[in-house]
Amino acid sequence: MTYFQLNFTIFAENLFVIMSLLVIGTVAFDAIETPFGKTDKIVGGAATYASLAASYFYDNVKIVAVVGDDFPESEIKDFNNHHINTEGLQIKNGEKSFFWAGKYHNDMNSRDTLVTELNVLADFDPVIPVSYQDCEFLMLGNLTPQVQQTVIKRLANRPKLIVMDTMNFWMDIALDDLLETIKLIDVLTINDAEARQLSGEYSLVKAARKILQMGPKYLIIKKGEHGALLFHEDKIFAAPALPLAEVFDPTGAGDTFAGGFIGYMAKVGTVNFNNMKNAIIFGSALASFCVEKFGTEKIRNLSQQEIAARVEEFISLAKFEI
């Protein structure tokens, strides 16, 4: 199928269906230090990266998150410029936004968290606006598992696809809630160290088998600069990561990947293993842009041509015939 035929099929399938993609997660301030430099407080957060990434594939992205009154109005406008609906973004007067500071080691793969100030997140009650109840695709970005679960329960109809991202922080402090929440979802995205922690298995294949028995139908294990693995029943798909000459800041790469993944799935509309393989490539392409500049800078101004060219690079990187 040519690129044109693929897009026409997607267009025809979605012609009379109004669906939306709901993203929840943190909208935050980050302070980042890498071997290449340091930022003061810049806008970050899992929902920020994920919704921006998804907006390149799907124009009905809605966000549920919370910020304090220190969060700039211009940043909310920028979400809207990307056609991201912010009706579900709560602004708490007199309170401060979530703040995270991290410092990367020289290998750029590992980092230390220097500060996590929950602020408004400490008692976040995710209110779902009525206009969001048409949600067919749900991205549960990194947040307290309890809040992620509440969002699922507050939707009148179960979405067609629920993707959840989480991290070791929640495995350490809220494992029971996490295990309960992953029973309710379709796709779990975690990194290799987190897959090992959650399963107690070193082999990622054994880890995946165990995690798939915990509830999710699909598991994506992100391996940073080594790509990602998709597991479903007895099937495995391995996606490469693009070898990049310059990596400035890996912050948000996982969220960008997840946002690109679910944005593409919402665009094609049909949930199956084959579409997920393509979605992983589109998510990886977006993540490869994210790391090229600090914070969200690079993924705020991408063109469809740039994305298409990057996807072509992925295709030629992994293509071989025997």
Binding site for ligand AMP (CB under 6 A): 26, 28, 30, 44-46, 100, 116, 142-143, 169, 251-255
Question: Cα separations (Å) of 254 from 20, 46, 88, 152?
Answer: 22, 9, 23, 22
Least Cβ distance, residue 83 to ligand AMP (angstroms): 21
Least Cβ distance, residue 62 to ligand AMP (angstroms): 19
Q: Enter the tokens of residue 321.
A: 């015939």
Least Cβ distance, residue 52 to ligand AMP (angstroms): 12
Least Cβ distance, residue 252 to ligand AMP (angstroms): 5
Closest to ligand AMP by CB, 30 or 186: 30
- Of all residues in the shown chain, the one whose CB is closest to ligand AMP is 44
Closest to ligand AMP by CB, 145 or 268: 145
Place of tokens 């400490």: 122
Least Cβ distance, residue 224 to ligand AMP (angstroms): 10
Closest to ligand AMP by CB, 118 or 271: 118
C-alpha–C-alpha distance, residues 125 and 275, integer Å = 33
C-alpha–C-alpha distance, residues 50 and 57, integer Å = 12
C-alpha–C-alpha distance, residues 97 and 133, integer Å = 26
As a three-state string, the secondary structure of 63-114 is EEEEEECCCCHHHHHHHHHCCEEEEEEEEECCCCCEEEEEEECCCCCCEEEE
